Amino acid sequence: MKRIFLHIGQPKCGTTAIQRAFAEHSDSAENRIVYYPRKGRYVRKLVAHHNLAYELYAPKSFLPARGSWADLEEEVRSTGADNILLSSEAFRRFLANTVAAKFRKHFADYDCKVILYLRPQWDYIESGYNQLLRFGRHSGTIDEFYQEQGAKITEYKGIVTAWGKAIGHENIICLPFDKEAKTNGIVSHMLKYALKLDVEMPDSDIVNKRFGLKALSAIRYCSGKYIRETGEMALPVRYIVMISDLFRHYPGEVNDFTFMKPELRRKIYQDSLETNHWLAVRYRGFATSEFLSCSPSGKDNTVAELPALTKEEREICDSLVRAAARGRLVLRYSNGQRIAQKWWEGRPSILNLRSWKPDRRAFRPGERPG
């Protein structure tokens, strides 16, 4: 029987790396052992099948031109491929029954499986919090984040149970996002343990860049000011990328840090222990010290709050916010470096990062083009 796998995340468990790698591989001219359909991939970077999820619960976000479930079936059957992989963290627990019905309707003759990666809850909370800070979506502390959202996003037992009831517990492939998966590569891990294929496929060459503390301060400052001045929900992602690039090689920038204090880490561990014992009984890989004990984070620099911006740094951020509010900031590439066009006193001028060589010198705050 032909097989179709739906990888539903979780977020922060190598999900984007999986999507990028399989998209690059499946879009190549080589023979595809695992086919990664184009239908259903959403516009942004075209690596995840968000459109299939949006068709089920977010009609305003659904783009018919990017492909529906019916379009997906047509594409899959035309390929004749034996192994099909879909991937999107946009699938939610409440979609389990609806997705199961879609599988029965469009792929009744396929062996349908759902793949779910989980990471230790204390690491998941820290990574999720860092992600929200990167995009200016949270202004509180990590303790407040856990208090507000922790119980919901780490409710692994409920997620697994909901999908198991909908599609059959025997069709759930639940795997740990652990040291082995990180060390050997999440793509190789999925091929070996989820798809049961003895093949090699490289991870994507694209990796997520780390954000330092000064960059996070600048993003939080710009996001808050942009939202207040425009009434929009969030600062556009392209400006966040611009800010992070500007501050990435900032003098004294700190990249190896944690916001999580040991006492919060231990609390999350205690709150999660019952769930992890439940997972350890049912699924391979969870009966390990990574899930059943609380090891130190390994990061010595525990940060209580983000560093304050200097006057010159705030001036840079203010000019970026003004440009973003007018929709007039344009990102370009030149010799691998970013160039930002911004407007000083209403007249266009260029802050040219060709004069900023990260491998040779540091960016000077307040520096303006001559």
Q: Please, are residues 62 and 54 in contact by the beta-carbon 8 Å criterion?
A: yes
Helix boundaries (H) for the chain? 15-26, 50-57, 69-79, 96-106, 121-134, 142-145, 151-153, 156-167, 179-184, 186-189, 213-230, 237-247, 262-282, 289-292, 311-326
pLDDT of residue 65: 95
pLDDT higher than 90, residue 24: no
**Residue-wise DSSP of 47-84:** -S-HHHHHHHH-TTT--GGG--HHHHHHHHHHHT-SEE
**Structural domains present in the chain:** 3-118+154-194 (3.40.50), 213-256+303-355 (no CATH)
pLDDT of 254 reads 72
User: What pLDDT sits at residue 212?
Assistant: 84
Judge whether residue 355 has pLDDT over 80.
no
Residue 208 has pLDDT above 70, yes or no: no
Q: What is the mean pLDDT of residues 267-275?
A: 96
Model pLDDT, residue 335: 33
Which amino acid is located at 79 in the chain?
T
pLDDT tens per residue across span 279-316:
999 998 999 999 999 887 666 688 888 888 989 888 88
Candidate ranges 170-179, 200-209, 311-320, 357-366; pick with highest mean pLDDT: 170-179
Burial letters 190-207, b for 16+ CB under 10 A, else e: bbebbbeeeeebebbeee
**pLDDT tens column, 126-145:** 999 988 888 888 888 999 99
The answer for residues whose C-beta is within 8 angstroms of residue 2's C-beta and 6 or more apart is 81, 82, 83, 84, 109, 110, 111
CA atoms within 13 A on the CB side of 53: 20
Distance from C-alpha of 52 to C-alpha of 69, rounded to nearest angstrom: 6
Helix (H, G, I), strand (E, B) or coil at 97: helix
pLDDT-derived band at 361, boundaries 50, 70, 90: very low
Share of the chain above pLDDT 90, in %: 54
| Tokens representing residue 149 in the block | 């959202």
Q: How confident is the model at residue 31 (pLDDT cuts 50, 70, 90)?
A: low
List pLDDT tens digits, range 132-186.
888 888 888 999 999 999 999 999 999 999 999 999 999 999 999 999 998 889 9
pLDDT of residue 157: 97
- Global confidence as pTM: 0.82
Average confidence score pLDDT of the chain: 83
Hey, which residues does 333 pair with through a beta bridge?
338
Q: Please state the rounded mean pLDDT for residues 42-69.
A: 94
**Residue 152 exposure: Cα atoms within 13 Å on the Cβ side:** 8
The predicted pLDDT at position 357 comes to 35
List the one residue out of 238, 267, 273, 5 whose CA is nearest residue 117.
5
The confidence band for 110, taking pLDDT boundaries of 50, 70 and 90, is very high
Q: What is the pLDDT of residue 298?
A: 65
- Better-predicted residue by pLDDT, 355 or 303: 303
Tens-digit pLDDT profile for residues 7-18:
999 999 999 999
Decide if pLDDT at 75 tops 80.
yes
**Residue 117, pLDDT above cutoff 70:** yes
